[in-house]
A and B are shown apart, each in its own frame.
Chain A
Amino acid sequence: DGGITQSPKYLFRKEGQNVTLSCEQNLNHDAMYWYRQDPGQGLRLIYYSQIVNDFQKGDIAEGYSVSREKKESFPLTVTSAQKNPTAFYLCASSSRHYSNQPQHFGDGTRLSIL
C-alpha cells in the first residue's frame, strides 16, 4: 500500500541532544513537508521541500534542520537550539507544491523531553 511512514512513534530527547525523525513516502510525490502540532493550535509548517536537494524554511524553522537527498525521504533533525521541542510532529507529502492537490500525512512522531 502506498503511504507515508514516520518513525519512531515516540522519541525522548535529553538536554543538549540532537534527534532525528524519519519520514519515508512511496507515493512518488515531489513535495514533502514537516509540521508541528501543539494542543489547541493549528498545524504549523517547519520546513518543506519541492524537489530533491531543495528545501525551504516554513514559519517556525528555528532550531530544526532537514535534508532531501532522495525523493522518498525527508528526515527532520530537532537540534539542541530548539528550546521547546515537546510536540507532535507530522510529515506530509503532495504530488506538487502549491498545487490544488491534497497533502497526505503520516501517523506522526511524539517527541518529549527527558
Chain B
Amino acid sequence: EDQVTQSPEALRLQEGESSSLNCSYTVSGLRGLFWYRQDPGKGPEFLFTLYSAGEEKEKERLKATLTKKESFLHITAPKPEDSATYLCAVQAQGNTPLVFGKGTRLSVIA
C-alpha cells in the first residue's frame, strides 16, 4: 500500500531560522511527488513537482529535494508570511489515486 508520512507534525521557528520539513514515502514506482502550501480556511496551493531522485526545485525561500525514499522542503531564512501547513502528496505508477501526507504545520515567529 502506498504511504506518505510527514514530519514533524508541527514546527515553530524564529524569523530567519532555517530548517527542513520531511516527507517519507513508500510507493510501487514514483510518477511524481508534489508539495503544496495550505493557509487556514483555504485550499492547498501548488508549489513544486519532483519526478526523479536527485531533482531539486526552488522558489523564493523554498527548495524541494527528492531521494528514492523521501523529499525535503528546505526553508531558508523564513518570514512570518511563510507560516502555513505544508502538504506532500505522491502519485504512484499505475491506476492509483494521489496519496497525501497529514502535513506539517509551520509557524514562523517575528
Chain A CB count within 10 A is highest, among B4, B34, B51, B97, for: B97
A8 at the interface (CB under 8 A from B): no
Given that A42-B103, A106-B43, A108-B42 are known contacts, is A100 also in contact with B31, CB under 8 Å in the complex? yes
Contact partner of B102 (CB less than 8 A), chosen from A6, A41, A100, A103, is: A41
Q: Once A and B bind, how many residue pairs between them come within 8 Å at the CB atom?
A: 59
Interface size in chain B (residues, C-beta < 8 A): 26
A90 to B41, CA, bound (A): 11
Query: Residues of A within 8 Å of B, CB-based: how many?
Result: 24
A64 at the binding interface (Cβ < 8 Å): no
Distance of A45 Cα from B99 Cα, bound (Å): 9
**Are A100 and B32 closer than 8 Å at their CB atoms?**
yes
Binding site for B on A (CB under 8 A): 4, 6, 40-43, 45, 48, 58-59, 90, 92, 98-108, 110
